[in-house]
Amino acid sequence: MARPEGLPRVLVCTGKGGVGKTTTAAALGIDAAREGARTLVMSTDGAHSLGDALAVDLHSGPVLVEERLTAEHVSAAHGLSDAWRVVQDYLLGLLGDVGIDPAVAEELTSLPGADEIAALVTLRERVRADEWDVVIVDCAPTAETLRLLALPDSLSWHLRRWLPQGSTWRPAAAAALGVPMPGPAVLEAITRWHDQMTDLKGVLRAPGSTIRLVTTPEKVVTAEARRTWTSLSLFGFTVDAVHVNRIFPTGPDWLSGWNRAQAEGLEEVHRSFTGIPIVAMPYLPEEPIGPDALARLAISCAEVRLTRDRPVGAASTAPLTVTETAQGYTLSVLVPFVAAADVSLGRRGDDLLIDVAGQHRVVTLPAALAPLTVDGAGVRDGRLVVTFARDDRVIA
Ligand SMILES: Nc1ncnc2c1ncn2[C@@H]1O[C@H](COP(=O)(O)OP(=O)(O)OP(=O)(O)O)[C@@H](O)[C@H]1O
Ligand SMILES: [Mg+2]
C-alpha cells in the first residue's frame, strides 16, 4: 500500500458544514483498515466530532479504534506554544523598544491561526513517521480547510523573510525594518517551521495526496463544492472524488426507521437544553430556496421570531453575569455540559483566561472586578462560577 517514496496515501476530506465530512472520513478510514492498510484518521476540526462518529473518546490523545485503525484529534497544545514563546519574546522586545504598551504587544504577538499551524505540524509529523499506509484528514468546513491548505505556502514565504539568505547573514525583514537581528534560538525556531512548511507544501501536492469533496445532493451545497474545487485546483491540489452524502434510499422501511430515530433524537435535545426554546424544523419536500420557501420554513420558527422589541434569551441562560456579594463579586459564565476537570483559569492583567476543554476564551473583566483577587472557582449547573474578593478579605 505504501507509495514508492515511502509517503502514505494522504486524503483530506472537505465540504460545507454538516454535510458528512467527519462521517465520510471515518467510514473511509474503517474501510481502509479492514482492507489491510495501517490507517490514521486525524481531525483538525476544533469541533472535534471524529470521536463521536467513531464512538471513541479522543480527548487524551490518539486511540486505537480497531486493528490497524487509529484516530486522533489534533490539539493546539501540541508543543507549539513553547516554540512560539521564543519568537514571541523576540517580537515583544522589538515592540517594547519602540514604546508599545506591553499588554498591547502581547496581544499583537499572540500566534494567529495557532490551531491550524499545530494541525499542520502534526500532519507533517504523522505523514513522515513511516507508520501509516493511509492518513485521512477530517477538516473543518470549507473556508477553514482552504485556509489550512494554503497556510504552508504563505507561512513558508513569510518565514523565509526572517531567515538569513545566501551570503547575507541579516534576514531581509530585520534589515528592512532596521530592527535587531533575531538570536540563534529564534532563528532555529523559524528555520524549523520554515522547513516543515516547505516539506508539507510538497507532501500535500505529491501524487497520492488528494482531496475528497463531500457534498449533499442540494444545489446550494453543490454550488459551494464547485467553488471549492476551483479554489483547490488553483492552489494545485487534486480532487480525486466527490462524495454525495444523504441521498434518500427508496424502500418501505427506510422512512419509519428515520422517524423513530428522529423522535428519540428530538427527546434527547429536549433533555439536554432545558430552559431554552427548542425549534423543530421540518425536512421539507424540496430545498428551501428563495424568500417564499424560506418563509414557509420560518413558520416553524415562530416561537423564536426575531423582532425589534422582543427580548433576547431568558435570564437563566445569560452567558455572563456579575453579581455583588459581601466579599466582592461573583462572575458566572455559561459553560454547558462541562465538568470542573475540563476547566482551567488564568489571569493576565485585567483579563480572565478561561480554558474549557481546549477552547480558550478571554473575558475582559469589568472595572469593578479587575482589581480584585480570584478566591474560588467551580462549575455548578452548567455555569462556571468565579468568586472575586477584595484583597483585604482574602484569607491566605
Ligand atoms: N449518510 C448519512 N446518513 C445518515 N446520517 C448521516 C449521514 N452522513 C452524516 N450523517 C449524520 O449527519 C451529521 C453530520 O455529519 P458529520 O459530522 O459527518 O458532518 P460534517 O460535515 O463533518 O460536519 P461539520 O461541518 O460540523 O464538521 C451526523 O450526525 C452524522 O451522523
Ligand atoms: Mg466534521
Judge if 61 and 198 occupy the same domain: yes
Give yes or no: residues 228 and 367 share one domain. Answer: no
Residues 232 and 381 in one domain: no
Residue numbers of the domain that contains 333: 319-393
Distance CA 196, CA 199 (A): 5
pLDDT in tens, 283-335: 888 888 878 888 898 899 888 877 666 555 544 566 778 888 888 889 888 77
Distance, CA of 247 to CA of 245 (rounded, Å): 6
Asked if pLDDT for residue 263 goes beyond 60, the answer is yes
> Residue 315: its pLDDT value, please?
44
Cα separation, 289 vs 220, in Å, equals 8
| CATH code of the domain in which 48 resides | 3.40.50.300
Distance 140 CA to ligand 1 centre (A): 12
The ligand 1 atom nearest the CA atom of 246:
1
Is the CB of residue 2 less than 8 Å from the CB of residue 133? yes
Least confident interval from 65-74, 93-102, 229-238, 329-338: 93-102
Same domain, 327 and 240: no
User: Percent of the chain scored above 90 by pLDDT?
Assistant: 16
CA distances from 299 to 25, 270, 279 (A): 35, 20, 10
Residue with the nearest Cα to atom 16 of ligand 1? 20
Which residue has the least CA distance to atom 19 on ligand 1?
Answer: 20
Is 386 part of any domain?
yes
Pick the range with the lowest mean pLDDT from 112-116, 202-206, 220-224.
112-116
* Ligand 1 lining (C-beta closer than 6 Å): 15, 17-23, 45, 47, 49, 53, 141, 245-246
Let me know if residue 227 belongs to a domain.
yes
Among 14-23, 74-83, 277-286, 317-326, the range scoring the smallest mean pLDDT is 74-83
For residues 324 and 237, state if they share a domain: no
pLDDT at position 208: 86
How far apart are alpha carbons 59 and 64 in whole angstroms? Answer: 13
Tell me the CA–centroid distance for residue 55 and ligand 2, in Å.
14
Residue 234 has pLDDT above 70, yes or no: yes
User: What is the rounded CA–CA span in Å between residue 345 and residue 330?
Assistant: 15
pLDDT at 4 over 60: no
Q: Which of 3-17, 124-138, 184-198: highest mean pLDDT?
A: 124-138
Residue nearest atom 26 in ligand 1 by C-alpha distance: 18
Q: Are residues 137 and 29 in the same domain?
A: yes
Mean pLDDT over all residues of the chain? 80
Ligand nearest to the CA of 18: 1
Residue 380, domain member (yes or no): yes
More confident residue, 236 or 300: 300
Q: Could you tell me if 323 and 223 lie in one domain?
A: no
Same domain, 200 and 345: no
**Same domain as 326, residue 223:** no
Domain presence at residue 292: no
How far, in Å, CA of 192 to CA of 128, rounded?
Answer: 15
Last residue of a domain, one of 218, 244, 270: 244
pLDDT band at 3 (very low <50, low <70, confident <90, very high): very low
- Ligand 1 mutation pick, 23, 42, 52, max ligand atoms within 8 A of CB: 23
What was the pLDDT predicted at 6?
A: 77
Q: Which residue minimizes the CA distance to atom 12 of ligand 1?
A: 20
The pLDDT value recorded for residue 198 is 82
Q: What is the pTM of this model?
A: 0.71
Q: Which ligand gives the minimal distance to the CA of 53?
A: 1
Is 350 a domain residue?
yes
Task: Give the pLDDT of residue 84.
Answer: 66
Q: Which residue, of 179, 212, 244, is where some domain finishes?
A: 244
Please check whether residue 17 lies inside any domain of the structure: yes
* CATH number for position 323: 2.60.40.790
What is the reported pLDDT for 236?
81
Instruction: State which of 58-67, 79-88, 201-210, 303-312 shows the largest mean pLDDT.
Output: 58-67
Phi/psi for 19 (5° steps) reads -75, -20
Asked whether residue 360 is domain-assigned, the answer is yes
Is there a single domain that holds both residue 225 and residue 325?
A: no
> Tens of pLDDT along 100-149?
777 776 766 666 566 677 778 888 889 999 999 999 999 878 777 777 77
Question: Which of 227, 244, 261 finishes a domain?
Answer: 244
Between these two residues, 136 and 159, which has the higher pLDDT value? 136
- Number of domains forming the structure of the chain: 2
Residue 361 lies in a domain: yes
